[in-house]
């Protein structure tokens, strides 16, 4: 039987809501004082466990990793406060981690689906346009309600970013995923890819570096959120430097996208577009950096409550997960200071509780 934990600090139950008096009893949260004495008392500010909305467990720089490495990645994310991960594509089957005490709750997207030779080698299920619909259907059946499409990548013949698939095929693919009862999100760097995805009725956009003011009303109207992965976008100048000699147009494009990274996220926020925190950990970005992404969103101009919402209350609601409510699963993080006043506190949590068990 799990222990009784008493949380002594303020409990942030929403971006603008605060309560006191919270316990974890047998892995569930309650605001009613239990009859038995608590086994443990935790001080500090309590928030729902962080959500990493774009994370790749089971993926390393060279593609799929072995089970021990995937376990290590999951534990690193967990101890940094990620208690729910939406895995945005993994070549390894990570179902063995589900329900583990050493891993965040995992919403898997199966394997990335990409155009042949238009993505990092060894990561994706690569197909030509005529096979896209079947490929996404397969991933919709194998994942946990999400499919990940690589919407654009460098087109080496054009020497620049370009959509991976024709618009009509993308439309059919999105429809097929919806018919399977799943949602589909797309990796999009370029401006024009966003038009194609919005036309196709996509459910979410990853990176969204090509977001222009003209796109904003459509994102709001169609209720399509973005996961900016800012700590990954920070690597664009390195990508550009490597591409300069062979693909100067692409390199210049990547630099231009990088330059507008903060402005774009703030414009989206001010327009009312849903924004969620995703680290893109797995290949270039190391695991355990959810705190850095929350701070990056804040530094882009989001108020700290909004940056927290992107990883807490709002993100949980979006993915259908419980927050800090009577009877919900005891998945919480405890900050040493009030994160609304001292943002950096999210980078070094005092405690992490998963299912009523102290993991940090």
**Would you give the DSSP letter of residue 300?**
T
Closer Cβ to Zn ion, 231 or 243, answer by number? 231
Using CB under 5 A as the binding rule, the residues of this chain from 7 to 26 that contact Zn ion are none
Give the closest residue to 315 by CA, choosing from 230, 221, 227, 233. Answer: 227
Tokens of 162: 């370009």
Going from the C-alpha of 196 to that of each of 73, 174, 202, 276, 352, the distances in angstroms are 34, 11, 9, 21, 41
The CB-of-46 to Zn ion minimum distance in angstroms stands at 30
Q: Give least dist CB 54 to Zn ion, A.
A: 6
What is the C-alpha to C-alpha distance for residues 360 and 339, in angstroms, rounded to an integer?
A: 18
Whats the size of the chain, residue-wise? 360
Question: Which residue spans within 301-350 are E strands per DSSP?
Answer: 332-335
Judged by beta carbon, residue 57 or residue 304, the one nearer Zn ion is 57
Helix axes 236-243, 248-259, angle to 10 degrees: 160
The half-sphere exposure of 181 on its side-chain side, counting CA atoms within 13 A, is: 4
Q: How far apart are CA 231 and CA 242, in angstroms?
A: 19
Region from 9-17, 274-282, 296-304, 349-357 binding Zn ion, contact rule CB under 5 A: 274-282
| Residue 60 CB coordination number (10 Å) | 18
| Residue tagged 């990954």 (tokens) | 232
Of the candidates 232, 283, 288, 289, which has an alpha carbon nearest to the alpha carbon of residue 65? 283
* Closest distance of CB 220 from Zn ion, Å: 24
Smallest separation (angstroms) from Zn ion to the CB of 282? 6
**Nearest residue (beta carbon) to Zn ion:** 280
d(CA 196, CA 306): 28
- By CB under 5 A, what part of segment 56-115 binds Zn ion? 88
> 125 or 280, CB closer to Zn ion?
280
Question: Minimum CB separation from Zn ion for residue 216, in Å?
Answer: 23
Residues 283-342 that bind Zn ion (CB under 5 A): none
CB nearer to Zn ion: pick between 185 and 196: 185
Q: 203 or 280: whose CB is closer to Zn ion? A: 280
State in angstroms the smallest separation of the CB of 56 from Zn ion.
6
Least Å from the CB of residue 200 to Zn ion:
20
Closest approach of Cβ 231 to Zn ion, in Å? 12
User: Which tokens hold the place of 302?
Assistant: 């989001």
- Other CB atoms within 10 Å distance of the CB of residue 17: 10
Q: Binding to Zn ion by residue 280, rule CB under 5 A? A: yes
Closest to Zn ion by CB, 186 or 302: 186
Give contact residues for Zn ion (rule: CB under 5 A).
88, 280
């Amino acid at each position: 039987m799990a222990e009784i934990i008493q949380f002594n600090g303020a409990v942030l139950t929403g971006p603008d809501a605060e309560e006191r008096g919270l316990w974890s009893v047998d892995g569930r949260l309650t605001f009613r004082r239990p009859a038995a004495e608590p086994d443990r008392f935790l001080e500090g500010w309590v928030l729902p466990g962080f959500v990493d909305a774009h994370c790749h467990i089971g993926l390393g720089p060279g593609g799929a990793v072995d089970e021990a490495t995937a376990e290590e990645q999951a534990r690193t994310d967990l101890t940094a406060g990620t208690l729910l991960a939406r895995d945005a594509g993994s070549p390894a089957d990570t179902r063995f981690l589900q329900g583990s005490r050493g891993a965040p709750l995992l919403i898997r997207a199966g394997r990335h689906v990409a155009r042949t030779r238009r993505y990092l080698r060894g990561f994706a299920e690569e197909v030509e346009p005529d096979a896209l619909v079947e490929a996404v259907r397969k991933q919709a059946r194998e994942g946990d309600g999400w499919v990940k499409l690589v919407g654009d990548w460098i087109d080496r013949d054009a020497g620049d970013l370009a959509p991976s698939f024709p618009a009509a095929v993308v439309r059919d693919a999105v429809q097929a995923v919806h018919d399977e009862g799943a949602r589909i999100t797309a990796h999009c760097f370029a401006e024009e890819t966003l038009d194609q995805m919005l036309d196709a009725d996509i459910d979410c956009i990853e990176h969204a570096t090509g977001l222009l003011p003209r796109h904003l009303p459509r994102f709001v109207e169609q209720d399509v959120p973005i996961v900016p992965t800012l700590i990954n976008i920070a690597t664009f100048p390195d990508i550009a430097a490597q591409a300069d000699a062979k693909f100067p147009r692409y390199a210049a494009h990547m630099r231009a996208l990088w330059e507008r990274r903060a402005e774009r996220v703030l414009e989206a926020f001010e327009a009312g577009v849903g924004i969620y925190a995703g680290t893109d950990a797995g290949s270039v970005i190391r695991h355990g950096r959810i705190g850095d992404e929350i701070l990056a969103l804040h530094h882009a101009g989001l108020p700290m409550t909004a940056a927290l919402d992107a990883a807490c209350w709002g993100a949980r609601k979006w993915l259908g997960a419980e927050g800090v409510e009577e009877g919900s699963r005891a998945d919480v993080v405890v900050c040493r200071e009030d994160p609304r006043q001292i943002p950096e506190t999210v980078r070094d949590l005092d405690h992490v509780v998963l299912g009523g068990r102290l993991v940090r």
